[in-house]
Homo-oligomer: A and B are copies of this chain.
Amino acid sequence: MGGRLFIICAAALLAGGCFKDQRRDDTDKSALEIRQLIDRWTKAFEAKDLDGVMAYYAPGDRLDSYDIVPPLQYKGAAAYRKDYAEFFKQFNGPIHVDERDVDIEADNNVAFAHGLERLTGTSTDGKPVDTWLRWTSGYRKIGGRWYALHDHVSVPVDLATGKALLDLKP
């Protein structure tokens, strides 16, 4: 009996160890999957590929986004898709994105990421665009893959003058 109990305990400890390693591996895997999702968004955004960009976000009503432009919030994927379409229309040719200080915090089913992003390109009236933005995304794993449920994009503002600060550098 003593021997059998030892074997059961050893098996339980081993299983506990396996679960523990499995969890850490899952978290690392989550962060890698989020990194890949961000990279796919970046490629699609630079190419002004609306379907590719929207693949980053949860379809339907669960998405709730705060963009650099009004209104205060975009509820649902359809509203945010329209916002992206408007944004892309303001550029001649592709947009270039540089990422800086990206941080990803991921658990098994919930994650968030944020970073600074420099957008460069040419507007449809021929003017150069060169602006650093701040972005944050919140994600949930749904049906085995990650989707952004939330997006927040902004620039700081000067409260004394009411001016948006579009020329700050990190």
A101 CB within 8 Å of chain B: yes
A99 CB within 8 Å of chain B: no
Interface string of A78-107 (1 = CB under 8 A from B): 000000000000000000000001010111
Residues on B with C-beta less than 8 A from A170 are: 71-73
Interface string of A90-134 (1 = CB under 8 A from B): 000000000001010111111110101000000000000000101
Chain A interface size, as a band, is 35 or more
Name A44-84 residues within 8 Å CB distance of B: 64, 66-73
Q: Are A114 and B101 in contact (CB under 8 A)?
A: no
Residues on B with C-beta less than 8 A from A159 are: 68-69, 164, 166
Interface residues of A (CB under 8 A from B): 64, 66-73, 101, 103, 105-112, 114, 116, 132, 134, 136, 138, 140, 149-150, 152, 154-159, 162-166, 168-170
Q: Are A116 and B68 in contact (CB under 8 A)?
A: no
State which of B69, B109, B156 has its C-beta within 8 Å of the C-beta of A158: B69
Q: Are B112 and A109 in contact (CB under 8 A)?
A: no
A164 to B107, CA, bound (A): 35
Q: Are A168 and B70 in contact (CB under 8 A)?
A: yes
Taking A71-B168, A162-B163 as known contacts, 12 extra A-B pairs with beta carbons closer than 8 A to each other, sorted by chain A number, are: A66-B154, A66-B156, A68-B156, A72-B134, A72-B156, A105-B140, A105-B150, A110-B112, A136-B136, A162-B164, A162-B166, A163-B164
Residues on B with C-beta less than 8 A from A112 are: 110, 112, 138, 150
Once A105-B149, A136-B150, A150-B136 are accepted as A-B contacts, the answer to whether A69 and B110 lie under 8 Å apart by CB is no
Q: Are B134 and A152 in contact (CB under 8 A)?
A: yes
Residues on B with C-beta less than 8 A from A105 are: 110, 138, 140, 149-150
